[in-house]
Structure formats: C-alpha cells, structure tokens
Amino acid sequence: MKGRVLVVGLLALALAACEDRNKKAIEKIAHDEEILRRVGLAVNEVIRNAADCEVAKPLMAEAYQRIEDARGKVTGPASPQTLETLKTQVDRVAQVCP
C-alpha cells in the first residue's frame, strides 16, 4: 500500500514538472510574439510609406533599430529567421529610397 502511495506521489510531482515546462514554453512564445508584433508594426509603416521616401527614411531607421533591439530578446527557434525576413523587407524599401 505504501508503495502505491509513493508511486502516485511521484507521478503527481512528475506531472507538475511537465506542466511547469509547458507553461514556461508558452510564456516564451508569447514573449517572442509580442516583440515580433512591435517590430512588425514598424516594418509595416515603412512598407506603407515606401512611395514617399521622405516619410519612409526616418521610419526605416526606427524599424532597423527595433529589429536590432529584438535580436537579443527573442528566444524561439523561428524568431531570428522572422526578424531577418522583416529586415529584408525594410532593405527592399531602402534600395528604392537611398
């Protein structure tokens, strides 16, 4: 009987540990999503104003800065690639508006 109680107790502890890891993973994803959302907003402003270089140039500086700031903050495996894709979009506008 004591063995069963011990096994049940150990299983409960193991399940709690798994839930903790899942919760932490979800929090990391949410953290990255928020950072990428902010960067995406800046990049979208650059793209939206690409036809007017005088407006787009200062927005590009802001977008590049947000991208660089985000590089050190994101932790997910796909987040650096997402940042690189966003940077490429800004680079394209920068080619049109030197």
Residue 54: inside a domain, yes or no?
yes
With respect to residue 6, please indicate whether it lies within any of the assigned structural domains: no
17 assigned to some structural domain: no
The string of pLDDT tens digits covering residues 41-51 is 999 999 999 99
Q: Is residue 14 part of a domain?
A: no
Q: Is residue 33 part of a domain?
A: yes
> Quick one: which of 2, 72, 69, 75 has its CA closest to 32?
75
Q: DSSP H helical segments within the chain, as ranges?
A: 2-48, 53-71, 79-96
**Domains in the chain, number:** 1
Residue among 60, 76, 56, 57 at smallest CA distance from 68: 60
Range of the domain at 63: 25-96
- Tell me what pLDDT residue 27 has: 77
pLDDT digits (tens, 9 = 90+) for 77-98: 888 999 999 999 999 999 998 8
Q: Is the pTM of this model over 0.75?
A: no
In a domain? residue 16? no
Q: Is there a domain that residue 71 lies in?
A: yes
CA distance 7 to 10: 5
Task: Tell me the C-alpha distance between 16 and 70, whole Å.
Answer: 32
Residue at 77 is within a domain: yes
